[in-house]
Amino acid sequence: MLPRSVLSSPTPSAASRLSDGSRTSDTGLPFHRNPSLSDFEIERAPKTSTGTPRRPSARRLQSDYANENALRASVSRLIAAKARPFSVGGRIPIDPSALVLFFRSKSGITHSLDFPIDVDYDTPPALDVLIAACRPHPNPNYGDHADRESLFYPPALPLTTTLEIANHPILEAVRNSLFPSLAVGHYLTAVRDKLDVIVNGGSMAPQPRTLRNDGRVATIVVTLPVHFRGGAMVIRDAEGVEDKFFGGAGKPGEMEWSAFLAECEYEVEPIQQGCRVTISYAVHLKTYGPAVDPLITPSENILDLLSPVLTLSRGRKIAFYLTQDYGISPAEVLAESLVPHLKGSDSLLYHAMKIFKLAPELHWTAGGYIWPIDRVVECGNDSIESPTLGMKNLGLGSPTRSVYSPRGAFSIYGDLEDDDAENLRAEADQLRVRVQESGAIHLSETEIFILSDWVPGPMSKERVHFVSNGELEKLVVNVLLVTYVP
């Protein structure tokens, strides 16, 4: 018997012997062949270990934990800063050569200062006159080092510039960034505050918010095109969070501006080279409402006509119907929310009463009832178990008129059959109960004296939807302007 190795090794064929030149021994055992060009070269990926995976080291775990905590802390700071921004900045697309500053010195001579300015190459004489007319900001930290003090142009001396920020959407940018929740009817206005100058080596000490007690809600600072280096403006909010604006030259034809809330303080770091000149503006909040100074003032004619009415109504609580429509739902908002949106004759009458030091209020009213100032109009709805509603769902119709039929709040219009009139009276009684349950009071119980013309004019009509007898109805609600005349 031959060995197993001989039996398991096949003898190469003649073709293979000729093709690769291999030889066979006399015993029939093949020699090892040299690899030929016909053999395939195969590369296989190394086998993965199927054993137990290695556990990360303690140092790696600690590093991953520290990185995750740092990431979460960074995200928290970012979200907090994003949720309550206190400063914003941008650039004004304006050609600096078109900017001119006019001012009057102490001697009464008017000067003009053209831009841009580079004090390292040429200092205009008007700039020296401007600096000489300025006064230092109060700063006890500097002592006798007057060369380090920041300067401001005296507000008593005339100063104007060809730059009008109203021609640029700066106020709109401030509103969108710092006052995103500002209600409709509220507006921002800007009034030029002062001109600040900081020369080479000087800086501005922290300016607390108590120095700006003119009722402003924000401050805008525009950096004029005078070359300087350093001098970044640092702004801090009430919690000490800082933000920086460098005010340097950007693209040609641009000037930097920055704005911050009134609750912030700011300072300017030392000027390393050149001169920093800025103009600040006080941003005030205006509205048609009672919270702040209104944007409109009634004419003398309106005030003269209102005066005898108030004189003859002393000791009474009087009311006028508003005449404009505002397209809001009395079931969702209070009547007082209309104040910033008042328009036309309603706005004139409201602010005329404010000039007479009265306290006008807006109330919802319907069907001889009036809602308190802190209540919305609630009519309630029929339950699904209502017999009439069930008949309507079954396709059997409704004993009442169609939803498209005109109908008053608590009264009946047109010639109706006895059954229809009875049904409408029942609906009115049911609605009256709902109105009383919502907190409305009958006008006869309030001692309010409604003033109207011999022929009633137009009245505001807002609508409240409710379901009655399986139909969608609309309750017409008016608005009363109520005030007490002492």
pLDDT at 12 over 50: no
Alpha helices, H only, 97-242: 125-133, 170-178
pLDDT at 380 over 90: no
Which range among 368-372, 427-431, 439-443 shows the weakest confidence by mean pLDDT? 427-431
Better pLDDT: 314 or 427: 314
What is the structure's pLDDT at 140? 53
Where helices occur in 360-454 by DSSP H, the ranges are 387-393, 418-437
pLDDT band for position 177 (cuts 50, 70, 90): confident
Q: Which of 139, 155, 450 is nearest to 268 (CA)?
A: 139
Provide the residue type at 310 as one letter: L
- Is 390 a residue whose pLDDT tops 90? no
Confidence of residue 40 (pLDDT cuts 50, 70, 90): low
More confident residue, 270 or 347: 270
Neighbouring residues of 310: CB distance < 8 A, sequence distance ≥ 6: 356, 358, 485
Question: How far apart are the C-alpha atoms of 414 and 405, rounded to whole Å?
Answer: 10
Range of 15-24, 35-44, 334-343, 391-400 with top mean pLDDT: 334-343
Please state, in angstroms and as integers, the Cα–Cα distance from residue 359 to each residue in 335, 353, 383, 395, 441, following that order.
Answer: 15, 7, 41, 54, 21
> Could you read off the pLDDT of 255-300 as tens digits, one per residue?
889 999 999 999 999 999 899 999 999 999 887 655 556 666 778 8
pLDDT, greater one: 390 or 372: 372
- Using a pLDDT cut of 70, give the percent of the chain over it: 72
pLDDT of residue 468: 72
pLDDT score of 322: 92
What is the per-residue pLDDT for 251? 63
Q: Once rounded to an integer, what is the mean pLDDT over residues 38-49?
A: 53
Strand partners, 468: 471
Q: Is the pLDDT of residue 209 over 60?
A: yes
For residues 215 and 236, give the distance between their C-alpha atoms in angstroms, rounded to a whole number: 19
pLDDT exceeds 60 at position 158: yes
Q: Rounded to whole angstroms, what are the CA distances from 229 to 252, 271, 393, 407, 415?
A: 17, 6, 79, 75, 86
Mean pLDDT, rounded, of the chain: 76
Task: State both tokens at 89.
Answer: 């900045």
Q: Could you say which DSSP state residue 30 is in?
A: B
Over 60: is that where the pLDDT of 161 sits? yes
Per-residue exposure over 207-236, b if at least 16 CB sit within 10 Å of its own CB, e if not: bebeebeeebbbbbbbbbbbbbebbebebb
For residue 253, name the pLDDT band (cuts at 50, 70, 90).
Answer: confident
pLDDT exceeds cutoff 70 at 168: yes
The model's confidence at residue 98, banded by pLDDT at 50, 70 and 90, is confident
The larger pLDDT score, comparing residue 161 to residue 22, is at: 161
For residue 388, pLDDT over 70 is answered with no
pLDDT attached to residue 293: 60
CB of 366 closer than 8 Å to CB of 390: no
* Residue in 90, 211, 113 with CA at minimum distance from that of residue 162: 113
